[in-house]
Amino acid sequence: MNDSKPASVKVLITSGPTRQYLDPVRYLTNASSGRMGAALAEAVLKLGHDVVVVSGPVAVKYPAAAEVVEVITTDDMLRVANEIFPHCDGAIGAAAPCDYKPLHVSDQKLSKTGRPLQLDLVETPDVIAVLGESKRNDQWVVGFALETDDRRFRATVKLEKKHCDLMVSNGPEAIDASDNHVELLDRDGSVIETISGNKQHVANRLIQQIHNRLILQ
Amino acid sequence: MNDSKPASVKVLITSGPTRQYLDPVRYLTNASSGRMGAALAEAVLKLGHDVVVVSGPVAVKYPAAAEVVEVITTDDMLRVANEIFPHCDGAIGAAAPCDYKPLHVSDQKLSKTGRPLQLDLVETPDVIAVLGESKRNDQWVVGFALETDDRRFRATVKLEKKHCDLMVSNGPEAIDASDNHVELLDRDGSVIETISGNKQHVANRLIQQIHNRLILQ
């Protein structure tokens, strides 16, 4: 523990899902609720730091003291995060951006024909990987990895690939749930802490670790 | 106007979106909020009738006096509606069921490969068309048609095809909005009433029309 009181820092948190529309009505997404992002924002504010949340469409309420920028698509989230990140000390990728988008987007609602529809999807940019790649020496990035299989291994691969300083590994049962069970992984793939409980408890522990390891460094 | 007081009837309302999963995380859906369904339920209850809402995942609160059955997929919505409809006097299809589903659903989260992904989609069953087809002579069905182009024509085609008694035609700007602008169409395609305003106002007018034309008949 470092006992010196650090100056207030500014943390960027991405939160919630994004949407990738096929036409004016239908879209691809996931059930991310933004609750983990809201809990992390609360925990960052409690330590006296500033927070900017870049959030996809959610019903959750973010803390009143947080600056919130709303986005719809993954490209929007990346563009806004890229603009804000240079003015921040670190970023936490709690969002679950939709990682595929239709190659073609129709202006009109596609009419049903009775026949199958073949949809060509391409990958969207990886928001946290782009921030990790662009970070200065005095900045840090913490990612989240949501995997159904080989969780720890895949999370460690993602940590490396996305130039993250720490990686939070969790499973699909975390999505739209009030509780979570996560492992916080270090750069060498070792488990720093396993945390279970409601999302505010998990967020408080994660922010305490980030505070000690990255903010007070 | 018929002045005789009718016995209380029971109305089935489908509401909200449905989800069609590709894998444990990603799904296809739309932004339907369930607000129109909730407003219709409120209006039906105000006239002294009973209401059962079959709803996809929404954040909106349905009236406490409404019976609510929650579903996820379009097949779920159809199965539940089919079970409930024989015990009802009529059905209103305010839901926006996801009308395509992946031909193959993966048990594991699909890993990104850096390459495009071709997704084969097939149509889901049409909930209101199935109810319309199965309705008894003493039952009625009211559909909603959401179109971006040739709205009135396409809504009239849907009315006929889905064996509806009335059809509400609206546009994509209705989705997840507090206001709505609709046309209520008769079996012959003529416009019975054009209604604009907040969703509770639109719902009250629609239910008054349904009451006069279908419940009191």
pLDDT tens profile A66-79: 999 999 999 999 99
Residue type, A15: S
Strand locations in chain B, DSSP E? 10-15, 20-21, 26-30, 50-55, 67-70, 90-93, 100-102, 117-123, 140-146, 166-170, 179-185, 191-198
Confidence at residue A158, expressed as pLDDT on a 0 to 100 scale: 93
Average confidence (pLDDT) over A94-105: 96
* CATH code: domain of residue A154: 3.40.50.10300
Confidence at residue B138, expressed as pLDDT on a 0 to 100 scale: 95
Q: Is residue A114 part of a domain?
A: no
Nearest residue of A to residue B117, measured between CA atoms: A121
Q: Is residue A93 part of a domain?
A: yes
Q: Is residue B72 part of a domain?
A: yes
DSSP letter for each residue of A55-87: E-S-SSPPPTTSEEEE-SSHHHHHHHHHHHGGG
| pLDDT, averaged across chain B | 93
pLDDT higher than threshold 50 for residue B1: no
Asked if B24's CB is within 8 angstroms of A148's CB, the reply is yes
Confidence at residue B173, expressed as pLDDT on a 0 to 100 scale: 85
CA dist., res. B215 & res. A25, Å (int): 32
CA dist., res. B151 & res. B131, Å (int): 23
The more confident residue out of B7 and A44 is A44
Q: Is residue B112 part of a domain?
A: no
Which band of pLDDT confidence, cut at 50, 70 and 90, is reported for residue A174? Answer: confident
Q: Is residue B5 part of a domain?
A: no
- Closest CA–CA distance from residue A159 to any residue of chain B (Å): 15
What totals of helices (H) and strands (E) does chain A contain, helices first? Answer: 5, 12
Q: Is residue A2 part of a domain?
A: no
Tell whether B192 is within 8 A of chain A (Cβ). no
User: What ipTM was predicted for this assembly?
Assistant: 0.90
Which band of pLDDT confidence, cut at 50, 70 and 90, is reported for residue A14? Answer: very high
By CB atoms closer than 10 A (0-12, 13-18, 19+), residue B45 is middle
Q: Is residue B1 part of a domain?
A: no
Cβ distance A54 to A95 under 8 Å? yes
Q: Which range is most confident: B126-135, B147-156, B166-175? A: B126-135
Tell whether B121 is within 8 A of chain A (Cβ). yes
What is the domain range of residue B62?
A: 10-104+121-215
Domains contained in chain B, number: 1
pLDDT tens profile B36-75: 999 999 999 999 999 999 999 999 999 999 999 999 999 9
pLDDT higher than threshold 60 for residue A1: no
Q: Is residue B30 part of a domain?
A: yes
Tell whether B161 is within 8 A of chain A (Cβ). no
Q: How far is CA A165 from CA A189, B8, B88, B111, in A?
A: 11, 64, 59, 22
Average confidence (pLDDT) over A38-42: 98
Q: How far is CA A3 from CA A6, A44, A211, A212, in A?
A: 9, 18, 12, 10
Confidence at residue A4, expressed as pLDDT on a 0 to 100 scale: 53
